[in-house]
């Protein structure tokens, strides 16, 4: 298999049919059908059959080398001993993406307090990112400091399955698909702990991403899980792997609603939000 910058190279194009009519068809239900076209001239033998297995929770985050607005990185070296949030946006100089990047920049201090690094990505160049950051800061009143990956060839996007397979308008001037709004929360062991995918039309909720980090970090520390709409300071659920007898020793205030549903208090000061 080919390797480019630490990634397997998948030199094929995702085409929406602007170049060849037969490559994009409309089904009877009006949904779009997506085809991949192998670029034989540049593939060096790499094709669709070499696309990686889908990433799942528990997968090791693929490593890669890339240029960013803060200089070149090796992704695993960038992670180091920190948590990382890798998130993609469809395109620079677009309205929803501008609001998102500004919001992440303004909330970055909260992520940093929790030992979390942010890193963005889109299928634009680093130079494009650099100019756009000025607009983001002007519009949002932010000071964006985290790196944004330039992934014009979609190599990282392909490895992380970030490309848009449903929106026929989310493409570049050549009809090649842009990225969707993906979020990967990765722990210090390089393990993917959360995967979120939003369509290009829907902006993300940065507070929810932070809440997930708090849930994961607090759960790792205290052997608990978090119920619906939990925020730090709310009651938590004793992990199912802990027997009730042990739970009563670990959590003196455990409330046994059902044998499988046992709540306990956990003050905000004992969560990862206490920073």
Task: State the catalytic residues.
Answer: 97
Q: Are 191 and 172 in contact (CB under 8 A)?
A: no
- How far apart are the C-alpha atoms of 97 and 221, rounded to whole Å? 34
The half-sphere exposure of 95 on its side-chain side, counting CA atoms within 13 A, is 2
Interior angle at CA 115, CA 100 and CA 208, nearest 5? 40
Q: DSSP label at 256? A: E
Tokens 């992520």 found at: 111
- How far apart are the C-alpha atoms of 37 and 24, rounded to whole Å? 11
State the virtual CA torsion across 56, 58, 63, 64 in degrees, nearest 10.
30
């Amino acid at each position: 298999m080919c390797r480019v910058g630490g990634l397997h190279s998948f030199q094929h194009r995702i085409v929406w049919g602007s170049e060849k009519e037969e490559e994009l068809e409309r089904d009877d239900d009006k949904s779009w059908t997506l085809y991949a076209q192998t670029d034989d001239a540049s593939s060096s033998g790499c094709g669709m059959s070499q696309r990686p297995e889908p990433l799942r929770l528990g997968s090791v985050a693929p490593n890669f080398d890339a240029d960013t607005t803060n200089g070149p990185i090796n992704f695993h070296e960038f992670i180091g001993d920190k948590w990382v949030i890798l998130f993609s946006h469809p395109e620079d100089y677009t309205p929803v993406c501008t609001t998102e990047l500004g919001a992440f920049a303004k909330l970055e201090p909260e992520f940093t307090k929790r030992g979390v690094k942010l890193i963005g990505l889109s299928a634009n160049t680093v130079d494009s990112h650099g100019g756009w950051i000025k607009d983001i800061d002007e519009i949002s009143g932010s000071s964006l400091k985290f790196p944004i990956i330039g992934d014009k060839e979609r190599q990282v996007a392909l490895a992380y399955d970030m490309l848009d397979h449903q929106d026929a308008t989310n493409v570049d001037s050549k009809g090649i698909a842009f990225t969707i709004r993906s979020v990967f929360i990765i722990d210090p062991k390089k393990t993917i702990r959360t995967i979120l995918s939003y369509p290009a039309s829907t902006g993300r909720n940065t507070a929810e991403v932070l809440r997930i980090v708090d849930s994961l970090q607090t759960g790792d520390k205290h052997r608990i899980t978090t119920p619906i709409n939990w925020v730090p300071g709310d009651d938590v659920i004793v992990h199912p792997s802990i027997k009730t007898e042990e739970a009563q020793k670990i959590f003196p205030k455990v409330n046994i609603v059902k044998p499988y549903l046992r709540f306990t208090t956990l003050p905000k000061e004992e969560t990862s939000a206490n920073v």
